[in-house]
Structure 1
Amino acid sequence: MARVIELYDTTLRDGTQAENFNLSVDDKIKVCRQLDRIGIDFIEGGWPGSNPLAVEFFKQMQGVALKQARLAAFGSTRHFQKKPDQDANLQALLAAKTPAVTIFGKSWDIHVIDALRIELEDNLQIIEDSLAYLRPHVRHLIYDAEHFFDGFKNNREYCLATLGKAMAGGAETIVLCDTNGGTLPHEIPEIMERVLQYRAEQGSEVRIGIHSHNDSETAVANALMGVHCGADHIQGTINGFGERCGNANLTSIIPALIFKMGLECKVGKRIDQLYTTARMVNELANLPHNRYQPYVGESAFAHKGGIHVSAVQRNPMTYEHIAPEKVGNSRRVLISDQSGKSNVLMKAQKYGLDIEADDPLMTEIISQLKELENQGYQYEAAEASFELLMRRALGLHRDFFQLEAFRVMNHKYDLNKSPYTEATIRLYVDGSEVHTAAMGDGPVNALDRALRKALTRFYPSLEDMELTDYKVRVLTGEYGTGAKVRVLVESKDLEDSWGTVGVSVNIIEASWQALVDSINYKLMKDEKGRC
Structure 2
Amino acid sequence: MTRSITIFDTTLRDGTQGEGISLSADDKLKIAVKLDELGVHYIEGGNPGSNGKDVEFFRRVKELDLRAKIVAFGSTRRKGASVEDDENLRLIAESGVQAASLVGKSWDFHVHTALQTTLEENLAMIGDSIAYLKRRGLEVLFDAEHFFDGYKNNRDYAKTVLRTASEAGADWLVLCDTNGGTMPHEISEIVTALVAEMPQARLGIHTHNDCELAVANALSAISAGALQVQGTINGYGERCGNANLCSVIPNLQLKLGLPCLPEQKLAQLVPVARYVSEIANVHMPTGQPYVGSAAFAHKGGIHVSAILRDSRTYEHIVPELVGNKQRVLVSELAGQSNLISKAKELGIELDPKSPQAAETIGRIKELEHRGYQFEGADASLELLLREASGEVRELFVFESFKMLVEKSAGKPVVSEAFVKLRIGGESLYTAGEGNGPVNALDNALRKALLQYYPQLTDMHLSDYKVRVLDDKEATASKVRVLIESRDSEDVWSTVGVSGNVIEASWEALVDSMRYALLGQEPAVAAMAAEPRPGLLNH
TM-score range (shorter-chain normalised) is: over 0.9
Q: Residue 421 of structure 2 contacts residue 427 of structure 2 at CA under 8 Å; is this kept in 1?
A: yes
- Aligned pair partner of 1:454 in 448, 464, 468: 448
1:391-441 superposed Cα distances (whole Å, 9 cap, x missing partner): 222322122011111011110111x43211111111111112211111111
Q: Residue 209 of structure 1 contacts residue 234 of structure 1 at CA under 8 Å; is this kept in 2?
A: yes
Partner of 1:177: 176
1:222-247 superposed Cα distances (whole Å, 9 cap, x missing partner): 00111000000000000000001100
User: Counterpart amino acid of 1:463?
Assistant: T
In 2, distance between residues paired with 1:273 and 1:424? 46
Partner of 2:531: none
In 1, distance between residues paired with 2:154 and 2:232? 29
Name the SS for the 2:471 alignment partner.
coil
The alignment covers a number of residue pairs equal to 522
In 1, distance between residues paired with 2:465 and 2:279? 21
1:330-380 superposed Cα distances (whole Å, 9 cap, x missing partner): 111001000000000011112222222111111111111111111111100
Partner of 1:111: 110
User: Counterpart amino acid of 1:82?
Assistant: A
In 2, distance between residues paired with 1:385 and 1:281? 28
Partner of 2:526: none
Q: Residue 40 of structure 1 contacts residue 267 of structure 1 at CA under 8 Å; is this kept in 2?
A: no
Partner of 1:350: 345
Q: Provide structure 2 residue ranges, at least 5 long, that are not aligned to the other structure.
A: 523-538
Name the SS for the 1:266 alignment partner.
coil
How far is 1:488 from its partner?
Answer: 0.7
Q: Residue 143 of structure 1 contacts residue 173 of structure 1 at CA under 8 Å; is this kept in 2?
A: yes
Name the SS for the 2:64 alignment partner.
coil
How far is 1:267 from its partner?
Answer: 4.3
Partner of 2:532: none
Q: Residue 101 of structure 1 contacts residue 138 of structure 1 at CA under 8 Å; is this kept in 2?
A: no
In 1, distance between residues paired with 2:348 and 2:488? 24
Pair 41,527 (structure 1): closer, same or farther in 2 beyond 3 Å: farther
User: Counterpart amino acid of 1:227?
Assistant: I
Q: How do 1:55-454 residues align onto structure 2 when only pairs under 5 Å count?
A: 55-66=55-66, 68-200=67-199, 205-414=200-409, 416-454=410-448
Partner of 1:15: 15
- Aligned pair partner of 1:507 in 496, 501, 515: 501
In 1, distance between residues paired with 2:26 and 2:463? 25
In 2, distance between residues paired with 1:419 and 1:109? 61
In 2, distance between residues paired with 1:240 and 1:527? 46
Name the SS for the 2:217 alignment partner.
helix
Name the SS for the 1:62 alignment partner.
helix
In 1, distance between residues paired with 2:249 and 2:263? 8
- Aligned pair partner of 1:478 in 460, 469, 472: 472
Larger mean Cα displacement after TM superposition, 366-375 or 234-243: 366-375
TM-score after normalising by structure 1: 0.97
Q: Residue 349 of structure 2 contacts residue 389 of structure 2 at CA under 8 Å; is this kept in 1?
A: no
Q: Residue 93 of structure 2 contacts residue 138 of structure 2 at CA under 8 Å; is this kept in 1?
A: no
Q: Residue 109 of structure 1 contacts residue 158 of structure 1 at CA under 8 Å; is this kept in 2?
A: yes
Asked whether 1:469 is paired with 2:463, we answer yes
How far is 1:2 from its partner?
Answer: 1.7
Q: Residue 18 of structure 2 contacts residue 236 of structure 2 at CA under 8 Å; is this kept in 1?
A: yes
In 1, distance between residues paired with 2:206 and 2:57? 24
In 1, distance between residues paired with 2:107 and 2:296? 42
Aligned-residue CA RMSD (Å): 1.2
How far is 1:525 from its partner?
Answer: 4.9
Q: Residue 210 of structure 1 contacts residue 233 of structure 1 at CA under 8 Å; is this kept in 2?
A: yes
Name the SS for the 1:423 alignment partner.
strand
In 2, distance between residues paired with 1:425 and 1:355? 35
Q: Percent identity?
A: 52
Q: Provide structure 1 residue ranges, at least 5 long, that are not aligned to the other structure.
A: none
In 2, distance between residues paired with 1:137 and 1:3? 30
In 1, distance between residues paired with 2:337 and 2:220? 39
How far is 1:268 from its partner?
Answer: 3.3
How far is 1:198 from its partner?
Answer: 2.8
User: Counterpart amino acid of 1:437?
Assistant: A
How far is 1:526 from its partner?
Answer: 4.4
In 1, distance between residues paired with 2:72 and 2:170? 15
1:195-229 superposed Cα distances (whole Å, 9 cap, x missing partner): 123314xxxx2210000000100000000111000
Name the SS for the 1:356 alignment partner.
coil
1:455-498 superposed Cα distances (whole Å, 9 cap, x missing partner): 01110110111111111111112211111111111111111111
User: Counterpart amino acid of 2:474?
Assistant: G
In 2, distance between residues paired with 1:316 and 1:373? 27
Q: Residue 345 of structure 1 contacts residue 355 of structure 1 at CA under 8 Å; is this kept in 2?
A: yes
In 2, distance between residues paired with 1:104 and 1:368? 60
Larger mean Cα displacement after TM superposition, 81-90 or 274-283: 81-90
- Aligned pair partner of 1:522 in 489, 511, 516: 516
Q: How do 1:481-492 residues align onto structure 2 when only pairs under 5 Å count?
A: 481-492=475-486
